[in-house]
Structure 1
Amino acid sequence: MHDASHSKRNSLAALTLGAIGVVYGDIGTSPLYAFREALAQAAQDGISRGEIIGVLSLALWALIIVVTMKYVLFLTRMDNGGEGGVLSLMALARRATGGRWLVVAVLGATGAALFYGDAIITPALSVLSAVEGLKTIPGLDGMSQSMILGVTVGILVALFAIQAHGTARVAVLFGPVCLIWFLSLAALGLWHIVQAPEILHAFNPVNACRFLLSHGTTGLFVLGAVFLTVTGAEALIADMGHFGRRPIQLGWLSFVWPALSLNYLGQGALALQALAAAQAAGQPLANADWFFIMAPEALRAPLVILATCATIIASQAVITGAYSLTHQAIALGLLPRMHIRQTSADQIGQIYMPVINWLVLAGVLVLVFGFRSSSAMAAAYGIAVTGTMVVTTCLAFIIAWKYWQWDPVWTAMLVAPFLALDLFFFGANILRVSEGGWVPLLVAAMVGLVIAVWVKGRQAARTRAAGQGVPLAEFVAAIKARPPLRIEGVAVFLTQDADIAPSALLHNLKHNKALHRTNIILTVERQGSPHVAPPDRLTTERIDGDFIKARLSYGYMDAVDVPSDLARREGLLAGPGGTSFFVGRSAIRVGTRPALPRWMTTVYMFLHRNAADPTAYFTIPPNRVVELGSQVEL
């Protein structure tokens, strides 16, 4: 009994350390720029003591309300079979509403689209802000911006280039490096708090309210910048499937939250000291890179190196998150199939998607060269994250009401303060659209357009194919009346609608004038749950001696392996002649009676043509596949 409890504690500690390395990488690098950027918005006419304490109070209470109360204590309880994230919430809400509420699909697609805006900004902003710390090192203060950009681009290109080789080996270092990072944040903060303990007045929320009420529109701009302190909070629920709720909650409450709070307080304390020195000299206080100048000059070089490592880890978490989200979106039918490569034999979550990798890198490099500094880029960061948070809160309301069966009035009263705060932050960030906030909105709009076209196009193509098809029952009856030549073996026909005779079956019979001894009409479906146990995946229904209807069900996080899962059913693929898989390849063309606007059909044709090979997606060996083409007019 003692050994079991000891082992359980060790496992919890290991998972908590892993969570600190992966889950909190993004939010853990916010001290590099968040306080500096928030104070910059209030520094138009010089910085006062009230502004330092007011801005800091807003930052501390953002961490308390948005991250601790909303995410850690409330949303981590909304897991979908242990999985979290905006698409897992969408799948859970879709299941709770029977898939009848269009708003659920719209919210999920919007949240996914906004995530990609976040995915290109996080690596660009975090790595660039860390490299800019080189300027605070004695002797390097004259470093040109071109050199800063060169180092940043070198790090980012190397980071994306190694993704194809997998990150399982270096991932073991993430936890220890982030542990040192957060300890350094706490130590630097404590050192300065001791020198200016009056900064602790920032815990009084009255200071935050007083600041907002006295600064008008400027207060809203500051609030938009303060939101940078909570960017990365979405990772708390997105990575639940990897670590579990308890390690994530324990890591935040016992370690990460105190370390971040201490560091922000330390930056505020340093600013108060600098203000006192500036006032004594009769000079106004200018904003500065508060994070790096917290450290003594002798320690700045190691701090820049440590900060760069932390930002690389934060970027890695976002890149992995982009792969994971895309994988889920494909499974849920929101995006076309893409090539997915498993990079670890032990961890199913370790995947690599070349298309996503290089598209994200291209976006990151455009941002780096377009904005050229972390301060210019900071304005672009908040909109994508606040938009995702609004979506998350709306989905949480639907889940609590329809899935947990909570009273809608009480649920609304609980969720309303969170939603109001999210909308307040979103409104504050919208004010900065012209300063760069349009970037994530543009990225989200482009991804949203792809999702909308793909979903509408698939629906239209399926409807047209069903209209052109032959009901399976009629086909089976016709075969019975006039039996064709039989050949040995099992033929598996993949189709989206098991009630319609697959086009590949019709073409095979038409051209080869023969039918296999056993014919399996197979549909592969994705469920709203993240995982389906292998023994529960296959269901079959025998139509007659020649035909079997089969359905394979997978969770949206499961890897698809059609041959292996069919072979689990004893005797299904047995017999002489082997097994062949028939796949219909439909070519889309513009019809005389269009089902979609011409521009939408054109985009859908491009997406359909460039989607990954379905046989690779279903893990079917190429030498066992027969592809037969057909045309669908849209």
Structure 2
Amino acid sequence: MQNVHSGSVDSQNIHQHSLAALTIGAIGVVFGDIGTSPLYAFREALHHSAPTGGIQEAAIFGVLSLALWSLILVVTIKYVIFLMRADNDGEGGVLALLALAGRGIGGRKGAVLALGAIGAALFYGDAIITPALSVLSAVEGTKTIPGIGEGISQQTIINITMVILVALFAIQFRGTAMVSKLFGPICVLWFVAIGALGLLHISDYPGIIGALSPHHAISFLVNNGMVGLIVLGSVFLTVTGAEALTADMGHFGRFPIRLGWFLLVFPALALNYFGQGAFAMAALEQARVAGLPLETQDWFFLMAPEAVRVPMIVLAGLATIIASQAVITGAYSLTQQAIQLGLLPRMKIVQTSPGSAGQIYIPAINWMLLFGVWLLVVQFRNSSAMASAYGIAVTGTMVVTTCLAFVVVHKLWKWSLLRSLFVIVPFLAIDIIFFGANVLRVVDGGWVPLAVGALICLVIWIWVRGKRLIDTKENEGAMTLAELGKSLSKSNVARVEGTAVYLTANPEGVPGTILHNLKHNRVLHERNLVLTVRTAGVPHVPEEERSSYEKVDANFARIVLRYGFMDAPDVPQALARAIPKSDAPINDMTTSYFVGRNVLSASKDEGLPFWQDIILIFLQRNAHNPAEFFHIPSNRIVALGGQVVV
């Protein structure tokens, strides 16, 4: 009995250790973005509360109440409690929801596909703003260093910011496996520090705890009209990063993320905002005694005692780098999912860790993000101006997420329409109010993420429509494999040794590459495999469920490989496993892979509009080599195709 007891204790210790490691890891990756919001969110909201005069007591209480209830309603209730239930085999995020919604309605159709594309596109807008704003706001903290802060120019701050950001993007190709082990402990230290900083200053004005009452938030919005809506747009900065809670479920699991939020992150954020509010109230009383209006200040860094201000600035810099890394990694992951789901053309994807499929690097996305970040920093020059550009992309993504969640709960979970509306409508109402508040800031900079999102949406739309048009044209009048087999039995086509693998999107028809091979080379291999690679609506497909094999006749066999939208396709490896043991195994040295490489021709008279033809042709020409994407040896690839008018 004692041995059994000892074994159970060991098992429990291992489980607790694993849970602790996952929770610390989640704190480092999942909460990096929302954890750096105290640097600028409260400051910007108070700044917009007093457009013509000094900051007032009602504004401090109103902004703080709005911030706290945003964290409670949007992050805690909507994301942590509700949306984290809507996982796709453990994975979350907007494209995972798109796959779930597609499963519920029987395919990615119309409005649901459009919603997923819009949500994905807006994420890229967020991905260029987060690194720029967070790092810039941390570096601006140097202005609060006693003795030297006054001598630091804004251009110096911009230069330091750009050096940090360029270095961050330049090291991406090395992967983050080693440094990511430090993310969790650093972020735990960060949350403990900001919580302690807030707790230190609550005593400056203990009555600030009363801001927890929602009547302060409601009365501020009711009494301030348009100013209240503008402030609400700034208050939303407190919840940016909430999407990461669901997007990173696959890496850490639902429970560790929830544990990290309730035990550390939410208490630390709440304490820090309470501290900033109390600090601002104390400053207001001092300003009243002096007979001066209270102007906005860098409340976060000024709260830090002078003795620890420099270490706090350094810690803030590390936290913002981690937040930026999380968004960059998220952009890679989202791009991989979009490629697998057919929303974007193939791109070069580099595995940076042999032991982790999730550790990837996409050069094209990396350098496009850096270019966007560089433009933002140069254009806006300070975090206050850039904060106007933040929020609209995130609120737009949240609206999309909520709409997709409605499809999931109603169609996939089979909730009644009334129950679905009862749960979803309040969330959607909050999202739309926040979205409307941020739309007011389009002219001040909100157009940036909208422009980025619109550009990505346009690319997705043209690519999806163009590929459907090409597939339709290729399959027009196509015969079946059985019909071709009968035709070949009556001909004298020369046969050559080896195996030919013909990649095609349509496993039922005859691939164009077979016809081109017969037409131009006048030969057929001994064994001919018609291969289709499909992406399932789940993140990962188990090895035992990955392939299906069907013998059509003596000439052809049909193989379908299924991958999840987060799997990295390895066609030769999967193909070898798909061949039945009764058949001869695949010989890599005598196997040729035939891929279609059509030459697209723009036309003003048919297909897509001419300007879309030009974009589609550009995307097709610059799509990554299928040999590398499918891990096929480049010396075994044969590209055949014809001209297709689009």
| 2:90 is the counterpart of 1:82 | yes
Listed as ranges, the matches of 1:59-78 within 5 Å are 59-78=67-86
**What is the identity, as a one-letter code, of the residue corresponding to 1:604?**
L
Aligned mate of 2:296, from 283, 287, 291 = 287
Question: For the residues of structure 2 that align with 1:397 and 1:628, how far apart are their CA atoms?
Answer: 45
Kindly, what percent of the aligned residue pairs are identical? 58
**1:44-99 residue CA offsets vs partner (Å, 9 max, x unmatched):** 21111111011100000000000000000000000001100000000000011001
| 2:48 is the counterpart of 1:24 | no
What secondary structure sits across from 1:552 in the alignment?
strand
- What residue in structure 1 maps to residue 563 of structure 2? 554
What secondary structure sits across from 2:149 in the alignment?
coil
Contact 2:347–2:362 (CA<8 Å) still a contact in 1?
Answer: yes
- What residue in structure 1 maps to residue 627 of structure 2? 615
How far off its partner does 1:570 sit?
4.2
How far off its partner does 1:486 sit?
1.6
Cα 1:587–1:468 change in 2 (3 A) is: farther
**TM-score, reference length from structure 2:** 0.97
- What residue in structure 2 maps to residue 633 of structure 1? 645
- What residue in structure 2 maps to residue 56 of structure 1? 64
How far off its partner does 1:482 sit?
1.3
Listed as ranges, the matches of 1:49-448 within 5 Å are 49-99=57-107, 101-138=109-146, 139-448=148-457
Moved more, 569-578 or 525-534: 569-578
Question: For the residues of structure 1 that align with 2:580 and 2:293, how far apart are their CA atoms?
Answer: 81
Cα 1:434–1:573 change in 2 (3 A) is: farther
**1:103-140 residue CA offsets vs partner (Å, 9 max, x unmatched):** 11011001001001000000000000000000000122
Question: For the residues of structure 2 that align with 1:76 and 1:444, how far apart are their CA atoms?
Answer: 25
What secondary structure sits across from 2:500 in the alignment?
strand
How far off its partner does 1:7 sit?
1.1
What secondary structure sits across from 1:83 in the alignment?
coil
Cα 1:575–1:185 change in 2 (3 A) is: closer
How far off its partner does 1:468 sit?
6.0
Question: For the residues of structure 2 that align with 1:407 and 1:5, how far apart are their CA atoms?
Answer: 41
- What residue in structure 2 maps to residue 504 of structure 1? 513
- What residue in structure 2 maps to residue 3 of structure 1? 10
**1:551-582 residue CA offsets vs partner (Å, 9 max, x unmatched):** 11111011100100111134456277721111
Aligned mate of 2:594, from 582, 588, 607 = 582
How far off its partner does 1:615 sit?
1.1
Moved more, 498-507 or 377-386: 498-507
Question: For the residues of structure 1 that align with 2:586 and 2:264, how far apart are their CA atoms?
Answer: 60
What secondary structure sits across from 2:501 in the alignment?
strand
**1:402-444 residue CA offsets vs partner (Å, 9 max, x unmatched):** 1111111111011111100000000000001110010000000
Question: For the residues of structure 1 that align with 2:170 and 2:222, how far apart are their CA atoms?
Answer: 48
| 2:55 is the counterpart of 1:47 | yes
Listed as ranges, the matches of 1:586-597 within 5 Å are 586-591=598-603, 593-597=605-609
| 2:478 is the counterpart of 1:476 | no
**1:134-161 residue CA offsets vs partner (Å, 9 max, x unmatched):** 0000122221111000000000000000
How far off its partner does 1:593 sit?
4.7
| Structure 2: runs of 5 or more not aligned | 1-7
What secondary structure sits across from 2:265 in the alignment?
helix
Question: For the residues of structure 2 that align with 1:349 and 1:592, how far apart are their CA atoms?
Answer: 43
What secondary structure sits across from 1:334 in the alignment?
coil
**What is the identity, as a one-letter code, of the residue corresponding to 1:38?**
A
Cα 1:294–1:549 change in 2 (3 A) is: same
Cα 1:562–1:216 change in 2 (3 A) is: same
**1:251-302 residue CA offsets vs partner (Å, 9 max, x unmatched):** 0011100000000000001001101111111111111000000001121111
Contact 1:134–1:141 (CA<8 Å) still a contact in 2?
Answer: no
| Structure 1: runs of 5 or more not aligned | none
> For this pair of structures, how many residues does the alignment match?
634
- What residue in structure 2 maps to residue 33 of structure 1? 40
Cα 1:511–1:304 change in 2 (3 A) is: same
Question: For the residues of structure 2 that align with 1:92 and 1:573, how far apart are their CA atoms?
Answer: 39
Question: For the residues of structure 2 that align with 1:116 and 1:625, how far apart are their CA atoms?
Answer: 34
How far off its partner does 1:601 sit?
1.1
What secondary structure sits across from 2:495 in the alignment?
strand
How far off its partner does 1:591 sit?
4.3
Aligned alpha-carbon RMSD (Å) = 1.2
Question: For the residues of structure 2 that align with 1:611 and 1:514, how far apart are their CA atoms?
Answer: 29
How far off its partner does 1:218 sit?
0.3
